[in-house]
Structure 1
Amino acid sequence: MTDLLAAAYPWIKTGHILSFVAWMAGMFYLPRLFVYHAERAEKGSELDETFQVMETKLLKLIMGPAMISTWVFGLLLISTGVVDWSQPWPWIKAVAVLAMTGMHGWLSKRRREFAAGTNSRTGRQYRIANEVPTLLLLVIVVAVVVRPF
């Protein structure tokens, strides 16, 4: 099995990177949709319904599958034995990926609030939340590429 994973390593790594890029695109866009939804759409309006369709499709058709495939490919990469867990960088990346997954869950809960008509957050709060994936992306990429620790 390890030989198979080693032979497939470039494809697994490619899948991991492509999945992560798709996941991050959604992580950047969904909070931005929430900003406009909170600021411009009256509950029950046609615009509210339009935002809900956009948010639901983004979350369920792009972000969810991308997050799952990012995790699957990442765990497969770990299974190849290329990660040296005695170094700090994989631990830093792991914590940041867990935080990104938590942020994904938080965004999913906010979408359900919009769908129920119970959103209580402002556009400004969603603008601030929109920065979290950017900061986590920075930590993940620097941990993996630069490995400063």
Structure 2
Amino acid sequence: MLWIKAFHIVAVVCWFAMLFYLPRLFVYHAMAEDEISKERFKVMERKLYRGIGTPSMVATIVLGAWLASYNGAYYAASIWFWIKLSLIFILIGYHHMCGAMVKKFARDENPHGHVYFRWFNEFPVLILIAVVILVVVKPNF
């Protein structure tokens, strides 16, 4: 079980690295004015999303479910766990929003400016803080 937990944590760290960095790339891409920079950002965004982000998300989900299966009754009865799962589902939606943005940038159809992406970039931080507190503190509601 400790090996599964270790790989789950690695997958979470990799996933969040993408969730933090990809929107930052969107900021710079939205500010780019020359074609060479725009094309470079398109490649970086695509590789980060498809090569690191999505596999890490899948690994996080699979390994997390595997960990939860070891003590299913406990987790099923824990309100903090259900709140955490809800936040993870929201984060999965955010991940897919990032994928949609990658596709829009690839087609040169970005409807937002860099300020929007600066705010968009902050959202996963809030989810991370809440999830870590839930997992470590396990508050009784």
TM over 0.5: yes
1:120-135 alignment runs, 5 A limit: 120-135=111-126
1:39-78 alignment runs, 5 A limit: 39-42=31-34, 45-78=35-68
Match of 2:71 among 69, 75, 81: 81
Match of 2:19 among 11, 27, 33: 27
- Deviation per CA, 1:115-134: give whole Å up to 9, x if none: 01110111111111111100
CA distance in 2, matches of 1:100, 1:93: 10
- Deviation per CA, 1:76-100: give whole Å up to 9, x if none: 0111116432121101110111011
Which residue number corresponds to residue 88 of structure 2?
97
Q: Percent identity?
A: 39
- Deviation per CA, 1:17-57: give whole Å up to 9, x if none: 00000000000000000001001234xx1111000010011
CA distance in 2, matches of 1:116, 1:41: 15
Match of 1:143 among 124, 134, 140: 134
Q: Which amino acid aligns with 2:61?
A: W
CA distance in 2, matches of 1:89, 1:18: 22
Match of 2:3 among 11, 22, 36: 11
CA distance in 1, matches of 2:75, 2:116: 38
Q: Which amino acid aligns with 1:111?
A: V
TM-score by length of 1: 0.90
CA distance in 2, matches of 1:55, 1:84: 36
TM-score by length of 2: 0.95
Q: Report how many residues are paired.
A: 139
CA distance in 1, matches of 2:27, 2:33: 10
Gaps of 5+ in 1: 1-8
Taking only aligned residues, the RMSD between alpha carbons, in angstroms, comes to 1.1
